[in-house]
Structure 1
Amino acid sequence: MTMPENVENNQTQVTEFLLLGLGDLKNFRILLFIVFLILHIMGLTSNILVLILVAFHRVLHFPMYFFLSQLSLCELLFISEIVPNILWLTLAGSGKVSVFRCIFHFFLLSVQTITQCLLLASMSFDRYVAICRPLHYTVIMTFPNQLQMVIFPWLLGLALSVMLYVFINKLSFCDLNVINNFSCDIPELIQVSCSDTYFIDLITSVTSFVVFVLPLMFIIATYIFILRAILKIPTTTGKQKAFSTCSSHLMVVSMYYGTLCSVYLAPSGESSVTANKSLTLLYTLLTPLFNPLVYSLRNQEIRTVIFNCQILYIRDRNVSEEAEAVTE
């Protein structure tokens, strides 16, 4: 609802927001900070490891691992932006951030979120071709096509995020400057705005349908075809092998969309604030760690590469120790 001009002019324009984070943690502040920091380091390390393994080991130079590396890059950008805020707010209890920094923070998170949803759809298409059209896999999943399936999500994520950033940047913020969360997301920004938010609500709904609902529907459709193809395989071993190639991606999709829908579709109100914060922590701290662990633990090629790297490290260390012993 648009506010009268004279009322809006009488209100104080907000230049910074107060982020409440988890609120008053009292004696648990240091403990939670240590737990969050450990999860953050593990998330960074595991995703960086995936990027290094895929980049430098030829056995992983396949479309599935190429998409996985882009997924890890998304997670790295995401946790590098939002987790430091969580750590800071956990120690401080609350903190102030400028309106510009808050909106720009939303922009960076939006790019990552949109891109990751579209990348998961690209990965589902890769699995569909591998299971349903295996004889045409090398023809369809050429490297130029892989690049297109990766570049398009990044470009669309950037373009839509810029559009949302422009519209949100036109909002006015008066008097209300408290955001009861860890970060500046679009529901919180709309809630504290004193402008007419009808148009931005409409744009957000359309954008959400395009980047969240449509990719999810595409993923569900591809897995219906995949399931039909797997059921037609005559042997149990063949069915298990075919399903194992898709199970990791299916688990990641379930985890990502499950937490994402819980965060953004949960009912608003004071009673749900704590639940929303818990879901946000799950989404920001555990999901980035969950993705590389699922693929590394359930994927034979990645486990083999990690094992070989360990063997080479131990061998090189023994050789260097023997060389030092001979020198002495």
Structure 2
Amino acid sequence: MQPRNVNPQRENKLKITETNLTTVMEFVLLGFSDIPEFHRFLFGVFLVMYVIILLGNGIIILMTRIEPTLQTPMYFFISNFSFLEICYVSVTLPRMLMDLWTQEGDISLVACATQMCFALMLGVTESLLLAVMAYDRYVAICNPLHYSLVMNHKACIQLVVGSWISGIPVQIGQTCQIFSLPFCDSNQINHFFCDIPPMLKLACGDIFMNEMVVYIFAVLLITVPFMFILGSYTRIISTILKLPSNTGRSKAFSTCSSHLIVVVLFYGSATITYLKPKSIQYEGTDKLLSLFYTILIPMFYPMIYSLRNKDVTQALKKLLPKSLAW
């Protein structure tokens, strides 16, 4: 991939330190610089996708607030998940749209670090929230008589708040660690947002320990919640298969299928991106994977939850006539 021609004055915005090393003070997000003729087309496509993400997740949040049948712990978690997706996409997509429109990619070191930090924190929150949703399904199916007692309103709020704040100190520390490295070879990030893999490629010197820290946190924050989800669904499936009626089994599976699809999409893309060996990291592939988990998957989440859930479909049918009447 050939990088775009960058303004020398912009590229040379480097600070000379007393040790005669150059430290990058501003980066350039190359984004889709190899296909400048498609920038306007891509801007339109991504803008439409952003609107779909906002509307789709916004409608789910609205439905869970105004429809009495959806005011249950499961839909409380789904509404929080939809809000999380809006935040997650908004960290990267508006910036990418601006860069496509202006055909520039200047981003200061502080702005780049802030974007990375929020993207990482929200990614961790998503991982933990998926685990919480799996726990909710486990209690509902495996211990239905205790469900209302275990998943009371206070417990639901505590689980959601815990998911939101647990990753904050870890990811702030990881961001500080990444940006404490010397970026002295180039200030051009061959990506459309500031993410760990492309940032590490710009760092000088021995970054083995930094890479190991990234892998360790990825294992802890991705693999551990995934293993918890896997264990929960092992028990859930075992319980469902023991149900006496086909109707009961079908209904139980239908309440879990949407969540399982989301789990596979999220953890599959996250594992490939952050845990694959460095030797097979190709910049073009990384960029496509990032588009997949930062834009495409969040766009499909509302469809997955609405099309595969009768309660949401019925609530949507009620909401649409009211909206049209208004």
- TM-score, structure 2 length as denominator? 0.89
Q: Which residue of 1 aligns with 2:131?
A: 121
1:61 to 71, 80, 85: 71
Separation (CA, whole Å) in 2 of partners of 1:312 and 1:166? 49
Whether 1:32 and 2:49 are equivalent positions in the alignment is no
Please give the alpha-carbon distance, in whole angstroms, between the structure 2 residues aligned to 1:201 and 1:237. 50
By how many angstroms is 1:265 displaced?
Answer: 3.5
Query: Matches of 1:38 and 1:197 in 2, distance apart?
Result: 39
Contact 1:67–1:123 at 8 Å: present in 2 too? Answer: yes
Q: What is the aligned counterpart of 1:176 among 174, 183, 186?
A: 186
Root mean square deviation of aligned Cα = 2.1
Report 1 or 2 for greater relative contact order, CA contacts < 8 Å, sequence distance ≥ 6: 1
CA spacing shift, 1:111–1:90, aligned 2, 3 Å:
same
The corresponding residue for 2:7 is none
Deviation at 1:88, TM superposition (A): 2.7
The answer to whether 1:81 aligns with 2:70 is: no
Q: Paired residues, what number?
A: 310
Distance 1:35 1:78 in 2: 18
**Distance apart, 1:195 and its partner CA:** 5.3
1:22 counterpart SS class: coil
Unaligned runs of 5+ in 1: 1-6, 318-328
**In 2: Cα distance, 1:44 partner to 1:182 partner:** 20
Runs of at least 4 residues off by over 6 Å: none
Q: What is the CA distance between 1:94 and its match in structure 2?
A: 4.6
Q: Which position in structure 1 is the counterpart of 2:297?
A: 287
Letter in 1 for 2:94: P
Decide whether the 8 Å contact of 1:25 with 1:93 is kept in 2.
Answer: no
Residue 101 (structure 1) aligns with: 111
Shift of 1:65: 0.7
**TM-score, normalised by the number of residues in structure 1:** 0.88
CA contact (8 A) 1:129 1:137 kept: yes
SS in 2 for 1:76: helix
CA distance in 2, matches of 1:249, 1:203: 30
Shift of 1:114: 0.3
Show structure 2 runs of 5+ residues with no match: 1-16
Give the secondary structure class of the aligned counterpart of 1:296: helix
- What's the CA shift for 1:177? 1.1
**DSSP 3-state at the match of 2:97:** helix
Q: CA deviation at 1:150?
A: 0.6
Does 2:282 correspond to 1:275?
A: no
Selected match of 1:154 from 164, 182, 189: 164
Q: 1:107 to 1:197 in 2, by over 3 A?
A: same
- Amino acid paired to 2:182: S
